Amino acid sequence: MNSPNPIWKQQAFTVSHADQSAFAGAGLRPFFEYRELGIANATQGRFGAHVIRAVPGRESEAQWHTHDLEFQMVYVLQGWVVFEYEGQDEQVLRPGSCVLQPSGIRHREVRHSSDLMLIEITSPAEFETKVADAPEA
């Protein structure tokens, strides 16, 4: 069946199985490991999705930063994580918590449980991260 949506032509079918794809430490943060879900390749970089888990014994550097992207969503699978966001109270995310981080919002990951695991979806797959000053209180 042909799709009337031209975006479909820019995507490929992909499946990622947890037992067939490994976590790698070469991600944005050294205290996390990342398992790519194949979405970036399947969408020619328009979207990215990966599972993130805590690296045992590694702590957050709690550095304020921003991301230049169109969409960033985080969904917690297990454990907990504490984020601070510009203009918001401290947020404790636990299993089932979901957050949409608007582009450019200053934020930082403050601390997390050793068993933290979450899913992050972004658009585009590759994006710029900039260190930022802490927001004024």
* Residue at 47 is within a domain: yes
pLDDT tier at 129, thresholds 50, 70, 90? confident
What is the average pLDDT value for the chain, to the nearest integer? 87
* Residue at 14 is within a domain: no
* Residue at 3 is within a domain: no
Q: How many domains are there within the chain?
A: 1
Which sign does the torsion angle of CA 104, 107, 113, 114 carry? positive
Q: Which residues contact 116 (CB under 8 A, 6 or more apart)?
A: 52, 53, 54, 76, 78, 79, 80, 81
* Residue at 11 is within a domain: no
pLDDT at residue 11 greater than cutoff 70: yes
Q: DSSP character for 134? A: P
| pLDDT tens digits, one per residue of 74-105 | 999 999 999 999 999 899 999 999 999 999 99
Q: Between 29 and 19, whose confidence is greater?
A: 19
* Residue at 4 is within a domain: no
* Residue at 6 is within a domain: no
The residue range of the domain holding 62 is: 20-131
- Provide, rounded to the nearest whole percent, the portion of the chain with pLDDT above 70: 90
In angstroms, the CA 60 to CA 62 distance is 5
Q: Which CATH number characterizes residue 99's domain?
A: 2.60.120.10
* Residue at 36 is within a domain: yes
* Residue at 15 is within a domain: no
